[in-house]
Amino acid sequence: MIPRYTLPEMGELWSEPSKFRHWLKVELAVCRAMADMKLIPQKAWRNISRKADFNIKHIIKEEAKTNHDVIAFLTSVKKFVGPDAKYIHFGMTSSDMLDTALSLQMKKAAKLIDRRVVTALSKIRRLAKKYKMTPIIGRTHGVAAEPTTFGLKIAVWYTELQRGRERFRIAAEEAAVGAISGAVGNFANIDPKIEARACRYLGLEVDKVSSQVIQRDRHAAYVGALAILASSLERFGTEIRNLHRTEIGEVMEGFAKGQKGSSAMPHKINPITAERLAGLARLVRGYAITAMENMPLWHERDIAHSSAERIIIPDSATAVDYALKIFCDLLDHLSINPKRMQENIFIYGGIVFSQRLLLKLTDAIGDRDKAYPMVQRNAMRAYKEGTGFYELVRADREIRKYLDEAEIEACFDLSYYLKNVDKIFTRTFAK
């Protein structure tokens, strides 16, 4: 991932030095397991554990010669360890180390991401509760529908992100496995007990059965869950972008002192953070497709997945980590305009109360098909002429045959739409 979208902790996790440290950690765990089982001398293990290290410049030089990164790495480690290096990677294949080390990195990345999700959930919850009873237009098809509350809009985000967190937790847990099973996964040259011990030292579960590689459905689920998380953030950002529109103006992104929205138009305040969330989500969704393409490898393994995974797994984790960070920043600096929300509810003289009027009129007439055109004609006229819907209804002689002044006024009572919000919040934020 480019530095612009890489946060320090996640960036360090996926750095080249970190990659090699995780490779070495796997090799050391296997050597330790072998020493426990007296398959290598304790003296050799002590020497390996004390001296094992690597030099990145040497690895790069060796890989240029061998065209094999794992051999280059092991050659570098051997220079530090000496003759006892013959016990390192004994009975293993490259994928044993690569896949198990990748699982370690993915597990650590998942913890960083989960921490940010928890922060985002806390901020969403606080915002939802603060604006629980703040009326706002609910829109369908981008068109004013009926009143709801801004807090209720945000509460919907809360449960969606909760599901995203759980989905990713399960995927990360399924991906946190190691495999030290040899060239085609049949343990011909290494004991399954070594795998079990090594994985325990590493904090990973054992992959019950593998070919030469850990099967890529685990990785596809992991990246797929990240893509859904990113898509949820995009959805939340899209709502903010729409409410930020000049003609709506109910919510705006924060605008810092000295910030400029446009090189050409000084008046511009653009929802750039929410738009960035959309762009990052598109990227991660593309990675999810690639992760699924990586699943059908040939026979016990090929390396068609390898080149893609070097990009998609670090990048998807890094992009979502960054997206969660800027989403939290976005929530912290939102500018909320309840006055504009109220004004928009009564646009065209309160056409959004049409269903309430329809129900009241249907009850009075006893026929919905007769009531509907009576309400609709007034709504259409309000749209066309910009005349107040409420005033048109009050002046409609046919409607007045069935409803008196007080009954019509009751249909435009905003509190009617807020009466069950408390109940929704109780079940949404129940512990």
**Whole-number Å distance between alpha carbons of 143 and 101:** 51
Q: Which of 412, 278, 256 is nearest to 346 (CA)?
A: 412
Instruction: List all residues 6 or more positions away from 198 whose beta carbon is below 8 Å from its beta carbon.
Output: 26, 29, 30, 32, 33, 100, 178, 180
Look up 244 and say whether it is catalytic: no
By 3-state DSSP, what share of the chain in percent is helix, strand and coil, each rounded to 5? 70, 5, 25
Looking at residue 302, what DSSP letter applies?
-
Catalytic residue among 262, 307, 333, 335: 262
Pairing status of strand 205-206 against strand 177-178: parallel
Look up 262 and say whether it is catalytic: yes
Q: Ramachandran region of residue 182, left (φ > 0), alpha (ψ -120 to 50) or beta?
A: left
**Whole-number Å distance between alpha carbons of 199 and 215:** 17
Dihedral angle over CA of 97, 98, 100, 102, nearest 10? 150
Hey, CA dihedral for 215, 217, 220, 221, is it positive or negative? negative
Dihedral angle over CA of 144, 146, 150, 154, nearest 10? -90
Angle at Cα 399 formed by Cα 398 and Cα 400, nearest 5°? 90
Catalytic residue among 141, 263, 299, 415: 141
Q: What is the CB neighbour count within 10 angstroms for residue 391?
A: 13
Chain length of the chain: 431
Residue with tokens 């325990």: 200
Q: Which residues are catalytic?
A: 141, 262
